Homo-oligomer: A and B are copies of this chain.
């Protein structure tokens, strides 16, 4: 396809996207398709001859849109926000269109240096000191894996350069709270520690944050029995309830054992933009690495996950390779992001964050986050005040965990009741919320923060919830 054909087609698809965003509020939030329905509606074989753009657009409307649960819908309260701000979309159009190849600094200097710039801009907006240097990963799962690989190598004296973890005599151990994201467990397992060396530290009630006394005891026990504590993952904003592990205390305990501390702030990192929220992250400067995802609440298009370290040279020592075909005369004078993470090549990831920051401005971003915090508090107050309803955890940010007790108060019926009214809300297509297990029972998470979500949308959800819960008994 040549530039002129692209120009025409690009205009059509930009229009299609603009129209989609303009009409998304009128679509059912959750897709109603059955498994296999999308696949079944598309040709089983690839076309031999080029099809016209119109055919592709027709399938978008006929098959793809009905097959979507709409993350950009104003009444999307499911999981965590996954905002793709249109200003960020503009940056990503450039990334695809320029088609730069990020495998060395030399292959696209601006790709590397703009990534340095936006990572530093984000650092400043978060109030982090300039000791932190950042890079962009695709997601926080990768960040946790990298952090635990670095911890493994630090604790084992760079075992990967010798016999690997296989040569270890004193098993390395890893710690996170029982409320940590599933990706932390996955990372510990993939990094080779083994489930038997992963400690899920109990949480305190009602906040569901890590019990640091329990952490200290577990680490001391492990050290006493010949194990080596390698890392603690502190979660800032857990998935179920946005609980904040006490980072300062975690760092203090970890330091006794020489264990690294990684802060998983995948969702909550956006709150660092608000000075009034920074107390939640107290002690973060003492951690060894931080990850947070501007592709969640803040509005950068997926996949934009920031990873900050205080000692890039340690990260690089674990991740670096130096094949002849990637060497250049500037090595040593420039940042080579291929040595800062798992992949070799990257697209021009920084553009989507650059466009977001520039076309929105920090003030407007903060104002939107504050709107969501206020809406969450206001919503929680409504829930608390309603008979039969309760809020199950402190509302630290924009996620409210709610429970409705059935009229007969039958505790045995609580879980099915919760799942029933939650499903009824979602099946209506008028809003979307997702359940999770907290303290052994199902509850419903109302995660406020889709970019177009205003108070009226929250009110609409609340009325729907009450209606469906009442109907479910």
Contact with B along A325-360 (1 / 0, CB 8 A): 110011001100000001111110000101101111
Closest B residue to A81 by CB, please name it: B101
Within 8 A of B (CB), among A401-450: 423, 434-437, 442, 445
Interface string of A92-106 (1 = CB under 8 A from B): 111011111101011
20 residue pairs from A and B, CB less than 8 Å apart: A4-B18, A33-B109, A39-B116, A47-B358, A51-B359, A65-B110, A66-B110, A68-B109, A71-B100, A99-B301, A138-B303, A145-B342, A149-B190, A162-B194, A164-B171, A164-B197, A167-B196, A182-B321, A323-B436, A325-B436
Say yes or no: is A31 at the interface (Cβ < 8 Å to chain B). yes
Kindly identify which residue among B5, B163, B302, B352 contacts A346, using a CB–CB cutoff of 8 Å. B302
Cα–Cα distance between A45 and B124 once the two chains are bound (Å)? 8
Given contacts A6-B18, A79-B107, whether A90 and B13 have CB atoms under 8 Å apart is: yes
Q: Chain B residues with Cβ under 8 A from A387's Cβ? A: none
- Mask, A37-54, CB within 8 Å of B = 1, is 111001011111111010
Residues of B within 8 A of A363 (CB): 48-49
A166 close to B (CB within 8 Å): yes
When chains A and B are docked, how far (Å) is the Cα of A127 from the Cα of B343? 28
Contact (A114, B38) CB under 8 Å given A100-B68, A194-B164, A197-B164? yes
The answer to whether A472 has its CB under 8 Å from any CB of chain B is no
**Does the CB pair B71–A84 fall under 8 Å?**
no
Chain B: minimal CB distance from A448 (Å): 16
A37 to B113, CA, bound (A): 9
Min Cβ gap A145→B in Å is 6
A361 within 8 A of B: yes
Tell me whether B445 and A141 are in contact (CB under 8 A). no
A400 within 8 A of B: no
Complex: how many Å from CA A16 to CA B95? 12
- Chain B residues near A68: list those with CB within 8 A: 98, 100, 108-111
From A18, A33, A196, A360, name the one whose CB has the most chain B CB atoms within 10 angstroms. Answer: A18
Q: How many angstroms from the CA of A79 to the CA of B324 in the assembled complex? A: 11
Known pairs A1-B86, A94-B17; A141 contacts B342 (CB<8 A): yes
CA distance A458 to B361 in the complex (A): 46
Cross-chain contact of A192 among B93, B105, B165, B330 (Cβ < 8 A): B165
> Which of A55-63, A251-259, A282-290, A371-379 forms contacts with chain B?
A55-63
User: Given B88, B195, B334, B345, which contacts A162 in the complex, CB threshold below 8 Å?
Assistant: B195
Q: Which residues of the partner chain B approach A111 to less than 8 Å between Cβ atoms? A: 68
In contact, B18 and A10 (Cβ under 8 angstroms): yes
Most chain B beta-carbon contacts within 10 A, residue among A4, A105, A165: A165
A64-B110, A82-B101, A160-B189 known, 6 other contacts, Cβ within 8 Å: A7-B14, A56-B355, A101-B302, A139-B345, A141-B344, A166-B193
| Bound: A193/B161 CA distance, A | 9
B139–A343 touching, CB < 8 Å: yes
Question: Which of A19-27, A199-207, A211-219, A390-398 lies at the interface?
Answer: A19-27
* A183-B321 in contact (CB<8A): yes
**Residues in chain B near residue A18, CB distance under 8 A:** 3-4, 6-7, 10
Nearest CB in chain B to that of A82: its residue: B101
Quick check: is A262 within 8 A (CB to CB) of the other chain? no
Q: Whole-angstrom distance between the alpha carbons of A72 and B131 in the complex?
A: 37
Query: A362 at the A/B interface (Cβ < 8 Å)?
Result: yes
Contact A3 B31 (CB under 8 A): no
A87 to chain B, nearest CB (A): 4
